């Protein structure tokens, strides 16, 4: 990583109230039913959120770019226009029962850096680009981090365009429909570095009473879609020995997933968040069950062991019950170690600002996990109340948001290099 010029003075800070107001303004788009958000990727609400973000970026003097995956780029010029930009961002799409801060804090925290540099009249050597990555959540179109994955060369764009949602609508068609399919070749942009601010989405920072997480690693993820096929029949007149109950087999497999994850305590985790049962009628024995098993660990060997035991165990359960089972890997990435220089910039910023901080392994996946393959990357985390996320009750304090954005500001500006202030 190229050397950095002077870091910003520790008196330099973002405008926490403006950041908070922008978060609340964005939260009005695609509201949930319980105070959070349902702004799923490539919906009209996602399009509205993109338009608001673009309006704000243009008002801050940025020039906008858009690639063929709908990734958005808001560029603030640097003194050296040839220098590779420092990128900073995250995602604006949410879960169906999402919170107001997951992803959004990272995008609007990046915008707040631009707004603050404008206020202070600071010029940086490297340009700075604020980024919104499409479909980080992977909830409507699997896998998660789809567009940052294409940007990093992990997925082909054609494969990404072919991904379908529960109604059979294709990613590429939906991106076109909402009018956010750009012309830029995805991944053609080269980065000097990438920084992402994100809420922790777990309980550690709050429990340890730390304001900042210096994210050194991201745990790995494996998504296996399991399809179990039995036989529909009457729930009343079918004798127990004759039943081929896909729902029961799924329940036994989910019990097995829990056991496997616990066997690798304290770090491994496992569950299924996506579950579909067919025909889902009150008086029909389920003939089919389709569900996605989400397995995670900071240790790749553990992930591989859990995947193997899932397949072996599920196959035995189904064989014993006279049902068939198929497995499809629908997402995953290896554990990530972030760039030491970028992590150092985050840690120096937290120290300079006198904020309590600790090293952290990210439990959730993030766009930075893929971008780390094509550019030096690091993450800043702030606590969230009760560690809760992917729930409309997700909450952070204004102070936590400002502290995280200040560390992001200092790390980004130190890396971009200050020319004058
Ligand atoms: O699944 C994840 O870890 C991320 O929230 N998309
Ligand atoms: Mn996120
Ligand atoms: Mn999320």
Which of the four pLDDT bands, split at 50, 70 and 90, describes residue 6? low
Q: Which long-range contacts (CB under 8 A, 24 or more apart) does 168-174 make?
A: 171/42, 171/135, 171/141, 171/146, 174/42
Q: Ligand 1, residue 363: give the atom nearest the CA.
A: 3
Q: Ligand 1, residue 137: give the atom nearest the CA.
A: 6
Q: Whose CA is nearest to atom 6 of ligand 1?
A: 137
Ligand 1 neighbours (beta carbon < 6 A): 136-138, 144, 364-365
How far is ligand 2, taken at its centre, from the CA of residue 53, in Å?
17
How far is ligand 2, taken at its centre, from the CA of residue 92, in Å?
9
Pocket test of ligand 1: the residue of 219, 364, 367, 379 to mutate, having most ligand atoms within 8 Å of its CB, is 364
How many angstroms separate the CA atoms of 140 and 151, rounded? 19
Q: Is pLDDT of 401 > 50?
A: yes
Q: Ligand 1, residue 296: give the atom nearest the CA.
A: 3
Q: Ligand 1, residue 221: give the atom nearest the CA.
A: 3
Radius of gyration of the chain (CA): 23
Q: How far is CA 269 from CA 226, 263, 298, in A?
A: 18, 10, 10
Query: Residues 160-202: pLDDT tens digits?
Result: 999 999 999 999 999 999 999 999 999 999 999 999 999 999 9
How far is ligand 2, taken at its centre, from the CA of residue 365, in Å?
7
How far is ligand 3, taken at its centre, from the CA of residue 236, in Å?
42
How many angstroms separate the CA atoms of 113 and 131, rounded? 12
How many angstroms separate the CA atoms of 296 and 252, rounded? 20
pLDDT attached to residue 3: 43
How far is ligand 1, taken at its centre, from the CA of residue 194, in Å?
18
Backbone angles phi and psi of 56, in degrees to 5: -65, -45
- The stretch 318-343 carries a mean pLDDT of 97
Mean pLDDT of the chain: 96
Q: What residue has token string 């990404």?
A: 160
- The stretch 403-411 carries a mean pLDDT of 98
How far is ligand 2, taken at its centre, from the CA of residue 157, in Å?
21
SS3 201: coil
What is the distance of C-alpha 284 from the center of its chain? 38
* 146 token code pair: 């789809």
How far is ligand 3, taken at its centre, from the CA of residue 50, in Å?
17
Q: Is pLDDT of 4 > 50?
A: no
pLDDT attached to residue 9: 75
Residue 360 bridge partners (DSSP): 215
Q: Whose CA is nearest to atom 4 of ligand 1?
A: 365
| Ligand with an atom nearest the CA of residue 94 | 3
Q: Ligand 1, residue 365: give the atom nearest the CA.
A: 3
């Amino acid at each position: 990583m190229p050397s950095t010029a002077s870091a910003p003075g520790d008196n330099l800070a973002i405008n926490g109230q403006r950041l908070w107001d922008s978060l609340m303004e964005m939260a009005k788009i695609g509201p949930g039913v319980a105070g959070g958000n349902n702004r799923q990727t490539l919906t009209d609400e996602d399009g509205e959120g993109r338009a608001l973000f673009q309006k704000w970026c243009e008002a801050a003097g940025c020039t906008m770019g858009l690639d063929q995956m709908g990734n958005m780029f808001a560029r603030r010029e640097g003194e050296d226009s040839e220098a590779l930009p420092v990128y900073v961002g995250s995602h604006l799409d949410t879960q169906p029962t999402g919170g107001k801060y997951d992803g959004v804090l990272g995008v609007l925290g990046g915008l707040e850096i631009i707004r603050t540099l404008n206020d202070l009249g600071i010029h940086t050597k490297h340009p700075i680009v604020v980024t919104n990555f499409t479909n980080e959540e992977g909830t409507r179109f699997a896998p998660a981090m789809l567009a940052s994955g294409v940007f990093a060369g992990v997925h082909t764009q054609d494969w990404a365009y072919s991904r379908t949602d529960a109604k059979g609508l294709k990613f590429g068609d939906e991106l076109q429909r909402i009018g956010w399919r750009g012309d830029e070749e995805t991944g053609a942009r080269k980065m000097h570095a990438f920084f992402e601010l994100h809420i922790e989405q777990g309980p550690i920072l709050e429990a340890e009473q730390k304001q900042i997480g210096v994210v050194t690693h991201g745990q790995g993820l494996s998504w296996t879609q399991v399809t179990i096929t039995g036989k529909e029949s009457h729930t009343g007149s079918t004798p127990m020995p004759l039943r081929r109950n896909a729902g029961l087999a799924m329940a036994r497999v989910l019990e097995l997933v829990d056991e496997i994850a616990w066997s690798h305590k304290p770090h491994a985790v496992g569950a299924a968040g996506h579950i579909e049962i067919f025909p889902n009628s009150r008086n029909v024995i389920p003939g089919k069950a389709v569900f996605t098993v989400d397995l995670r660990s900071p240790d790749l060997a553990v992930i591989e062991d859990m995947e193997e035991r899932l397949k072996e165990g599920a196959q035995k359960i189904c064989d014993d019950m006279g049902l068939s089972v198929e497995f499809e890997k629908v997402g995953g990435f290896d554990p990530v170690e972030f760039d030491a220089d970028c992590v150092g910039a985050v840690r120096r910023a937290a120290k300079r600002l006198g904020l309590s901080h600790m090293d952290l392994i990210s439990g959730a996946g993030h766009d930075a996990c893929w971008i780390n393959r094509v550019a030096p990357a690091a993450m800043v985390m702030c606590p969230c109340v009760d560690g809760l996320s992917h729930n409309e009750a997700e909450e952070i304090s204004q102070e936590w948001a400002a502290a995280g954005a200040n560390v992001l500001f200092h790390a980004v500006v130190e890396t971009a290099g200050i020319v004058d202030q």
